[in-house]
Amino acid sequence: MHILFHIVYDRYTCTYGCPVNAQGQGICPKLMMIMFPVMEAVRSGGNLENIGGSGKYVKDIVCPDGCVLFRLTARKLGNENFHKGKFYEEAGNGI
């Protein structure tokens, strides 16, 4: 899943981990605490409309300080789920 966050005049992207913009600057830690569970929900195939999103892969999130509105937009990459694909077992880790 590719996750994109829009704010006016800026764009943050990630596949996993903390989103960063074109200058390599990350998201505020307070906002990341709100966004991480939403990101996990969409990565596991969840429908963001079930948690107040405006679409299956779209949700608006207000920063904790109340001054910036972010729009989270996810798009499928077509990759197999890490756990369902058993990639960690193929690597010989024996997990």
Dist CA 93 CA 38 (whole Å): 29
Supply the pTM of this predicted model.
0.70
pLDDT in tens, 44-71: 888 999 999 999 989 999 888 888 888 8
Q: What is the mean pLDDT of residues 70-76?
A: 86
- In this prediction, residue 78 carries a pLDDT of 77
Q: What is the mean pLDDT of residues 77-87?
A: 71
Cβ neighbors of 16 (< 8 A, separation 6 or more) are 43
- Residue ranges per structural domain of the chain: 2-90
pLDDT in tens, 1-31: 666 666 656 777 777 777 887 888 888 888 8
